[in-house]
Amino acid sequence: MFLTLLKSKIHMGALTSSELNYMGSIAICPDLMSASGILLHEKVQVINADNGNRFETYVIEGEKGEIGLRGPAARLGKIGDKVIILSYAMLTPDEAASFKPKIVLPDEKNTPRP
C-alpha cells in the first residue's frame, strides 16, 4: 500500500508573469525549485489564494524570482496574486512515518527565506 503525502510546498509566492499563448505549465524560479525539492516537469497543484482557483500542471524552470502561469492556466491568476504550489509523493507507511515535507516561504521577491 502507498500513501500520498505532501512532498514540497512553496507557500504564498507572488505571480510575476503570465503568458496565455503557451503550451501550458508553471514557470518557477530555480532557487525556489531547489529549496523546495520540486523538479523540472514535476506535476504540481497550484492554489491561487486571491481568487480560490486550484489547478494541476507541470513545472518548467523560470527566471530568477519568477512564478509565471503559462497556457490556459494564465486565465486562473493575475500578476501579483499569491499562490501556493504543492507537490506530492507516494510513500509506503514505513517511509511516511518519518517523512518531512520541504516547506518554502518566499519573500516579496520570490527568494526563499532562510
Could you tell me if 83 and 67 are in contact, meaning their C-beta atoms sit under 8 angstroms apart? yes
- Indicate which residue of 18, 25, 36, 87 is catalytic: 25
Contacts of 97 (CB under 8 A, 6+ apart): none
Q: Is 22 a catalytic residue?
A: no
- Can you say which residues are annotated as belonging to the binding site? 57, 71-73
- Indicate which residue of 18, 22, 36, 58 is catalytic: 58
Could you tell me if 8 and 36 are in contact, meaning their C-beta atoms sit under 8 angstroms apart? yes
Nine-digit cell string for 45: 497543484
Q: Of 30, 13, 9, 32, nearest to 77 (Cα)?
A: 13
Q: Is 58 a catalytic residue?
A: yes
- Can you say which residues are annotated as belonging to the binding site for substrate? 57, 71-73
Residues belonging to the active site = 25, 58
